[in-house]
Amino acid sequence: MGMLIEGRWTSDDLRRTNGNGEFIRTRSSFREVIGDGNPRFPAEAGRYHLFVNAGCPWAYRAILYRSLKGLTDSIGITFTQPAAGPEGWTFGEIAEPLLGAQHLHEIYSRADPAFTGRVTVPVLWDKAGETIVNNESADIIRLLDSAFDTLPGVSRTTFYPTDLAAEIDSLNGIIYTNINNGVYRCGFAQSQSAYEAAYDALFNTLDDLDRRLSTHRYLCGSRITEADWRLFSTLVRFDIAYYGHFLCNRNRLVDFRNLWPYTRDLYQYPGVAETVDVNAIKGIYYGSRPPFLLPKGPEIDFSIPHGRA
């Protein structure tokens, strides 16, 4: 997709597979925190802004938490076009209004004129300091979960409770490796062995979680946690994109006895349905490469009663 080298856009890209053909995800570059004793980035309403892509599962985490936590009035948001172009993520022919940028890489260069690396979403931007606070989705949702809780109108509900933190972290590690990133390890594999190893790990883990959900309403019991939302970000895209486009085709989500109603349960949680943009999901996966055709299906109804209790 291209990258920045010392602040200049190039069509070159970092190598994303190793010598065995296995997909390797690059690390995020900006990892600051808001509040928590950090005087550079205090928790203030109206100070921060998100740049996201609605189809991207990593950016979607930030979109979701902004809604779940009641931060829509406190943190602004700008969406890129669904599909990336020759200069990576783009805002279209009309520049985005906050910084006047047409491409996301301009925002990275604004934060660091000598930046070298891939230009990814989400981006949490500090309007006062005119810089990127953080571009790691796992960090950003933790910040949104608690950093702004003292602001008026923000939900005090935490999805990372202290008493479940160790269990959540353990689940996150498995889900990230084998599912969140696992679908990409399938879809971007450059060898048959790498693909089959990722495929087996993906479906073995989905089977394990399906069994777990036969006795748990949510992954950690009766409470929705961060682990559920991180898993949901992939599951809600599974049949739309990963099943066919990324060769994750042993089972569809709708074929799972417990994962399918569980996904509907999460989708029907207040503030979630309006964050799921099916057209953007199709756009990011199918609209970036010739022949740029978006599939009409599948027809999936996440609003069917889930029957879970």
Contact between 84 and 288 (Cβ < 8 Å): yes
The single residue of 160, 176, 184, 269 carrying the catalytic annotation is 184
Phi and psi torsions of 9, nearest 5°: -75, 140
Farthest-apart Cα atoms in the chain, separation:
54
- Start-to-end C-alpha separation, the chain: 44
> Residue 184, CB half-sphere, CA atoms under 13 Å: how many?
16
Active site residue 199: no
- Catalytic residue of the set 48, 56, 186, 199: 56
- Residue of 90, 72, 66, 94 whose CA lies nearest to 9: 90
Q: How many residues does the chain have?
A: 309
Q: Which two tokens stand for residue 159?
A: 């999805």
Sequence letter at residue 288: S
Our answer to whether residue 108 is catalytic in this structure is no
Dist. CA 195–CA 307, nearest whole Å? 35
Catalytic residue list: 56, 184
